[in-house]
Amino acid sequence: MKRILWSLSCVLAALGIAAAVLITLNLRGEEPLPPNETLQSTPALVQRGEYLARVGNCMACHTTQGGAPFAGGRGIETPFGVMHSSNLTPDKAHGIGAWTSAEFWRAMHHGRSKDGRLLYPAFPYPNYTQVTREDSDAIFAYLQSLPAVAEANRDHALRFPYNTQAALAVWRALFFTPGAPQHEPLQTAEYNRGAYLVNGLGHCTACHTPRNALGATTDAKAFTGGLIPVQNWYAPALNAAQEAGVKEWKTDDVVALLKTGVAPQGSVLGPMAEVVFRSTQYLTDVDARAMGVYLQALPQQGSTPPATVAAPPASAMARGGKVYEQQCAQCHGDRGQGEPGAFPALAGNRAVMLADPTNLVRVVLQGGYLPATAGNPRPHGMPPFQQLLSDEDIAAVTTFVRNSWGNQAPGVGTIEVYRARERRGM
């Protein structure tokens, strides 16, 4: 009996120590909140906050289709279940109208809600933790200036144990540490501004970095590309010339891509088109250039010899060539040369030859639409073919364009097309 009691006490002691460690790790860096609000809002602060909220693309997640801006409720699918964005309007019952700027800062910097609950990292506080208090206050002032919307927050629909605060506490203890802007003294002010925007409010690594089985990213793999499970698109590596690296581009071309969605070397589609439409087109020229300078300075992945690609079956190339001639050549040209300023070339197009063909298949299925921006207000688009072409036809035509006119990449199978359809309910 004594041995049992001793074993039980040891287990309880171990649990107590583990709980104490978790609590300590989840409170590191936090200071007591001030008892009263101290922020004095001004029109200039609100205007600055509006700009910063656009840089952070806050509206994209916190607005449902056809809903009031920032009223929340958008369902965000994750491998762990569905999360719903929160109401950020100044409604006191459902939004953040009863919050203080210090509580908002705590949410941005520490990922903790007004009532002390741990927030899920679908809200990208692992990036926003680098945002300065001054910028957080400006965003808060802007949100408080919006019309209050009495829209109740929707509960998340997460599977056990991901729906528990205990599991979230473990995740944070393993993968989250409050941070701050990383100023590089040997770099220019322009570079440091770009690093702040890319890594903080822009939260570019949230998509362009692979995630582990628990949905966490690591600095060691930052910008190396990753599948976005929420949308089933591949976010290509920003530090590899064969994917989406811009090291060899002119900085002006990087700025053009961020602000208009098009550049001589390529254009944006899919989730990045939404980012440009809602966010980066509103960057000041100075900030867009700073981001471009930083992205061009990223350490590049080591180059590896191109892998030998087996020639696709002649039957697939013949079938794909016929589909291309009937459906694609009118815009993209007989030789995949495209039409400058209108339709992108497919010959030599690195987006076409990505090792992961998901994006190409998705474009054929649901169409490709550039964002309408001030610098490109009436962009050309590509119609969807999901109702016109079979899985076999789409597999064949994507195999064809990946292996014609000097292109060389693995062929696409019908199972990959099926998965792309299934993930989006097409």
Distance CA 32, CA 39 (A): 17
362 and 271 Cβ atoms separated by less than 8 Å: no
Instruction: Tell me what pLDDT residue 11 has.
Output: 43
The CA–CA distances, whole Å, from 191 to 86, 284, 294 equal 33, 15, 5
Query: Cα–Cα distance between 76 and 374 in angstroms, integer?
Result: 29
Residue 240 lies in a domain: yes
Helix (H) or strand (E) holding 414: helix 414-423
Tell me the Ramachandran region of residue 315: left when phi exceeds 0, alpha when psi lies from -120 to 50, beta otherwise. Answer: alpha
Q: Which residues fall within 8 angstroms of residue 349, CB to CB, at 6 or more apart?
A: 266, 336, 407
Query: Distance (Å, rounded) from C-alpha 344 to C-alpha 145?
Result: 42
Tell me, yes or no, whether 156 lies in a domain: yes
Last residue within a domain, chosen from 175, 206, 222: 175
Domain count, the chain: 3
Bridge partners (DSSP) listed for residue 212: none
Give the model's confidence band at 227: pLDDT under 50 very low, under 70 low, under 90 confident, else very high. Answer: confident
**pLDDT per position as a tens digit, 173-213:** 999 999 998 899 999 999 999 999 999 999 999 999 999 99
Range of the domain at 201: 189-296
- Asked whether residue 341 falls in the same domain as residue 249, the answer is no
Kindly state whether residues 117 and 204 are assigned to the same domain.
Answer: no
The Cα 47–Cα 141 span in angstroms is 9
Total residue length of the chain:
426
Distance CA 340, CA 364 (A): 20
As a whole number of Å, the CA-based R_g of the chain is 24
Query: What is the Cα–Cα distance from 91 to 103, expressed in whole angstroms?
Result: 16
State which of 268, 296, 324 marks the end of a domain: 296
Banded model confidence at residue 36, pLDDT cuts 50, 70, 90? confident
Whether residue 162 sits in one domain with residue 200? no
328-354: pLDDT as tens digits: 999 999 999 999 888 999 999 999 999
Query: Does 322 score more than 50 pLDDT?
Result: yes
Higher-scoring residue by pLDDT: 38, 92: 92
Same domain, 161 and 212: no
Domain membership flag for residue 12: no
98: buried, middle or exposed (CB in 10 Å: 19+, 13-18, 0-12)? exposed
